[in-house]
Amino acid sequence: MSAPCLARGSPGRLALANVAADILNNLPLAELHCHLEATVEPDDARIFAKRNSIDISGVFNDQGDYHWRDFKEFLDTYDAVSEAIRTPQDYYELTLHYYTRMAARGVIYGEVFVSPEHAGKFGISYTALIDAVAAAMREAEAKSGIVGRIIVTCVRHFGSEHATATAQLAVDHPHPMVTGFGMAGDEAFGAAADYARAFDIARDAGLGLTAHAGEILGPESVHEAITLFHVDRIGHGVRILEDDALAAAVKDWGLTLEVCPTSNVAIGLYPSLERHPLPALVAAGLKVTLNADDPAYFDVDVADEYRKSAEIHGFERERLAGFTRTAIEAAFCDSKTKVELLTRLDRN
Ligand code: HPA
Ligand code: ZN
């Protein structure tokens, strides 16, 4: 793969980085919930679109940012922007770009959702996709120590047959950096039971499991993810506090929540970060991690999430370190890697 030539980021982002550095004071961070295609900033999407002769001008607003007004429109924009990413080289570049930036922000471990269904639409094979993303992760690790892993992800609104086929691809082509299987997309699309087969296939192959639930829909979708998919982690899950018994069960079973506060506010789930249930989830003794979800859409990264949680909810450094510890403990990587990561955390 050749060297990337993507945009370097806006001055606003650099200013934020300085503020965060003060508050976080070199605390190692970890992220479990981030969609790879959503790490592509609008400037880079324009570079990819131009390079691949694709017209995605309809996805931008007058300011040149991604345009969407609600969750459905967000998913449509996301799918449309993903169409500008057409080659393994594109995936290599955007992955290297993201991991390099996150390493500079203090992230020592990051899992990303990678969607073979988006990439496959334009002829990128599963193995070419995974090889490109993995090559970039390895390069980023060699340069800056950040460790990456891939969660192969199906997209609920693309249908259950695709979901099953995606799980099967991951199982038929095992790769050391592919350690999880997940489901993103429209939580309300189709019947959950239809997707259970995909999770069965992935589980039998030893992949860690996570599904978006309790974001758009209420506690019942978390209940389905647990009872039908037998997930290890819940993507979002923030609405479980609406059902005390379910929250208690999630706690007893030790399931980890991949909480993405800024994403939840951006999508309209909560009116502000101040009104987000993050403190209540922590107070309930649930296993909580902090994540950016869709950084380029919500103008946030995981370091921002840590910093904002300290500023808005008053979390101390020990609590912030607790988010990293929980993320490493719940990570879909081998135990030797976890021990190494925890050692790095404990050194700070
Ligand atoms: N939620 C659900 N599905 C998604 C998202 C998200 O934030 N981003 C990409 N696919
Ligand atoms: Zn998500």
Reported as a single tens digit per residue, the pLDDT across 211-241 is 999 999 999 999 999 999 999 999 999 999 9
Low-confidence stretches of the chain (pLDDT beneath 70):
2-5, 7-21, 23
Q: Which residues surround ligand 2, an ion (CB under 5 A)?
A: 293
Mutate to test the pocket of ligand 1, among 35, 154, 291 (most ligand atoms within 8 A of CB): 35
| Segment (H or E) for 31 | strand 29-31
What's the confidence (pLDDT) of residue 348? 86
For the residues of 99-123, what is the DSSP string, one character each? HHHHHHTTEEEEEEEE-HHHHHTTT
Ligand 2 centre distance from Cα of residue 259 (Å): 9
Q: Which atom of ligand 1 is nearest to the CA of 267?
A: 7
Q: How many C-beta atoms lie closer than 10 Å to residue 156's C-beta?
A: 23
Ligand 2 centre distance from Cα of residue 347 (Å): 31
Ligand 1 centre distance from Cα of residue 130 (Å): 20
Mutate to test the pocket of ligand 1, among 40, 75, 186 (most ligand atoms within 8 A of CB): 75
Distance CA 326, CA 109 (A): 12
Do 115 and 182 meet the contact criterion of CB atoms below 8 Å apart? no
What's the confidence (pLDDT) of residue 7? 64
Reported as a single tens digit per residue, the pLDDT across 86-128 is 999 999 999 999 999 999 999 999 999 999 999 999 899 999 9
Q: Which atom of ligand 1 is nearest to the CA of 236?
A: 1
What's the confidence (pLDDT) of residue 4? 57
What's the confidence (pLDDT) of residue 300? 97
Beta strands in 133-190 (DSSP E): 147-155, 178-184
Q: How many C-beta atoms lie closer than 10 Å to residue 298's C-beta?
A: 22
Q: Which ligand is nearest to the CA of 36?
A: 1
Protein residue whose Cα sits closest to atom 2 of ligand 1? 185
Identify the CATH assignment for 11-45+89-346 out of 3.20.20.140, 3.30.300.130, 3.40.50.620, 3.40.50.720: 3.20.20.140
Distance CA 282, CA 314 (A): 12
Q: What are the pocket residues of ligand 1 if the criterion is a CB atom closer than 6 Å to any ligand atom?
A: 35, 38, 78, 184-185, 212, 263, 293-294
Ligand 2 centre distance from Cα of residue 252 (Å): 24
Domain ranges (residues) in the chain: 11-45+89-346
Q: Which atom of ligand 1 is nearest to the CA of 156?
A: 3
What's the confidence (pLDDT) of residue 1? 72
Annotated catalytic sites, by residue?
215
Ligand 1 centre distance from Cα of residue 38 (Å): 9
